[in-house]
A and B are shown apart, each in its own frame.
Chain A
């Protein structure tokens, strides 16, 4: 029994050490592009049972994080140039980021330049905080966003 206790301590101790080292190199509240990508990669496309990652709507490279300034920039590529769901995808990204990251982070969301016929109009809507707030109060739109965020019905490729 004494042996068991003595054995247990190093295991616990080692675990702690690993955790501590991890904290040193990646502090609890440090956010990088991969963290952001991990939070959004599995969002379901509003129209197809595939994730935004599976459809190449976004990738880790399309995300930029400035930890010091507290800024997150996401660029996403709608599946087609005239995609009517571009604003819905943008809303989904905003809601997910609001849920996953501290409120002091400023988020800018844009479509990849050249990827949408109404690029300027879509970008303007997605970055107008008042328009976003009003849209999320619309029950139908909110339901669609929730389906994209919480749906686990993804086909694996």
Chain B
């Protein structure tokens, strides 16, 4: 039976409380939840702290640590390095902190300064050799990770005309995507010869892009598609596999609009995340979580995406972040303005 025909629902497994202000973002530790290592999650909040949560053998979640007294304003975003040993946290205090995880302890080993004002997002590349940050100062910074937890800024990317909301590295190429309040999506890559970073493509309204602030982006697991979400109430799917004549160098500049998912949201969509199994989750300002999947409808030429499931009132307030557990299929975490994090499981229920 086609998965879209099945009656799938998100069931709440657990609610994590502890933050004393809205939870903006969360991130699953990519090295945990496998080989006997308990699953681990980081969350960051308007209460200026970062909380680390760990699953115990019975499956229930406890707060392992509270990272405080470092950021002096809202912590907006957090991201684990691919090895799971480092956690980067981006804050409205204009700094990005890097924490090292040793045993059950977390120590702040570096503070990256330079942005003129609020840092909105941070992302590690696939190999863990580069870190990207972005800010309301309209720039994207690329930092090189050096021995001894040293970080050197190797490029300050200008181009966006407004606040940059999120940055995300491609799952295996050193290609960076940024999304902005200026309604555009920009792709950045290194120039083969000069090692200079530059913008290889801009996806704006003229390229069938968004007509209001773009809040987030997520790549499909094989990296040839990405999904963006916006204040314009749509999700847009972008594809890069349609130009087989292009070499892999210029492939990163050949993203094209594939389809727009509209009519399902009536308030700003803050977060979007694409699972390894191909399910797209969205978190929005109407307190709901929606799941979408590509429809294998052979009668239509262009690919289309259908609503797989909707969880209304997933939280009591806006859903700010949705993230699939990379190690356990069907498990989703969500963060909200209501100060809580919820762990969900996608289950089939009888009609």
A window 99-157: CB within 8 A of B? 103-104, 106, 124, 128-131, 133-134, 137
- Give the docked Cα–Cα distance between A110 and B118 (Å): 24
Cβ contact within 8 Å between A134 and B267: no
Cβ contact within 8 Å between B213 and A124: yes
Cβ contact within 8 Å between A128 and B267: no
B191 contacts partner chain A, Cβ-Cβ < 8 Å: no
Known A-B contacts A106-B285, A128-B181; the reply to A134 vs B74 at CB < 8 A is yes
Cβ contact within 8 Å between A129 and B74: no
Known A-B contacts A103-B338, A128-B213; the reply to A134 vs B285 at CB < 8 A is no
Cβ contact within 8 Å between B316 and A133: no
What would 10 more interface pairs be, CB under 8 Å, given A104-B317, A128-B231? A103-B338, A104-B287, A104-B316, A129-B318, A130-B76, A131-B136, A131-B163, A134-B74, A137-B73, A137-B74
- Give the docked Cα–Cα distance between A137 and B48 (Å): 11
Which residues of A are found within 8 Å of B120, using beta-carbon distances?
130
Q: Which residue of B lies closest to A102 (CB)?
A: B316
B46 contacts partner chain A, Cβ-Cβ < 8 Å: yes
Instruction: Produce 1/0 per residue, B149-175, CB < 8 A to A.
Output: 000000000000001010000000000
- Max chain B Cβ within 10 angstroms of own Cβ: one of A104, A106, A124, A130: A130
B324 contacts partner chain A, Cβ-Cβ < 8 Å: no
Cβ contact within 8 Å between B92 and A134: yes
Q: How many residues from A make CB contacts under 8 Å with B?
A: 11
Q: How many residues from B make CB contacts under 8 Å with A?
A: 26
Which residues of B are found within 8 Å of A137, using beta-carbon distances?
73-74, 92
Point out residues on B near A: beta carbons under 8 Å.
Answer: 22, 46, 73-74, 76, 92, 117-118, 120, 136, 163, 165, 181, 212-213, 231, 267-268, 285-287, 316-318, 337-338
Q: Which one of A103, A104, A133 contacts B74 once the chains associate, using CB atoms below 8 Å?
A: A133
Point out residues on A near B: beta carbons under 8 Å.
Answer: 103-104, 106, 124, 128-131, 133-134, 137
Known A-B contacts A131-B163, A137-B74; the reply to A103 vs B317 at CB < 8 A is yes
CB distance from A104 to the nearest CB of B (A): 6
Cβ contact within 8 Å between B181 and A134: no
CB distance from B136 to the nearest CB of A (A): 7
- Give the docked Cα–Cα distance between A106 and B22 (Å): 15
Write 23 A-B pairs (CB below 8 A) sorted by A numbering: A103-B317, A103-B337, A103-B338, A104-B287, A104-B316, A106-B267, A124-B181, A124-B212, A128-B213, A129-B268, A129-B318, A130-B76, A130-B120, A131-B163, A133-B22, A133-B46, A133-B92, A134-B92, A134-B117, A134-B136, A137-B73, A137-B74, A137-B92
Which residues of A are found within 8 Å of B267, using beta-carbon distances?
106
Closest 3 CB pairs of A and B: A134-B118, A137-B73, A134-B92
CB distance from A138 to the nearest CB of B (A): 9
Which residues of A are found within 8 Å of B317, using beta-carbon distances?
103-104
- Give the docked Cα–Cα distance between A137 and B163 (Å): 17
Cβ contact within 8 Å between A103 and B285: no
- Give the docked Cα–Cα distance between A128 and B120 (Å): 13
Cβ contact within 8 Å between A103 and B316: yes
- Give the docked Cα–Cα distance between A155 and B117 (Å): 38
Which residues of B are found within 8 Å of A133, using beta-carbon distances?
22, 46, 74, 92
Which residues of A are found within 8 Å of B316, using beta-carbon distances?
103-104
CB distance from B196 to the nearest CB of A (A): 31
CB distance from B182 to the nearest CB of A (A): 11
CB distance from A129 to the nearest CB of B (A): 7
Q: Which residue of A lies closest to B338 (CB)?
A: A103
Q: Which residue of B lies closest to A71 (CB)?
A: B267
- Give the docked Cα–Cα distance between A107 and B127 (Å): 43
- Give the docked Cα–Cα distance between A46 and B213 (Å): 28
- Give the docked Cα–Cα distance between A133 and B154 (Å): 30
Q: Which residue of A lies closest to B92 (CB)?
A: A134
- Give the docked Cα–Cα distance between A134 and B118 (Å): 8
- Give the docked Cα–Cα distance between A104 and B338 (Å): 9
Q: Which residue of A lies closest to B215 (CB)?
A: A130
- Give the docked Cα–Cα distance between A133 and B73 (Å): 10
- Give the docked Cα–Cα distance between A131 and B162 (Å): 12
Q: Which residue of A lies closest to B46 (CB)?
A: A133
CB distance from A130 to the nearest CB of B (A): 7
CB distance from B37 to the nearest CB of A (A): 34
Which residues of A are found within 8 Å of B92, using beta-carbon distances?
133-134, 137
- Give the docked Cα–Cα distance between A103 and B268 (Å): 17
Which residues of B are found within 8 Å of A131, using beta-carbon distances?
136, 163, 181
CB distance from A109 to the nearest CB of B (A): 14
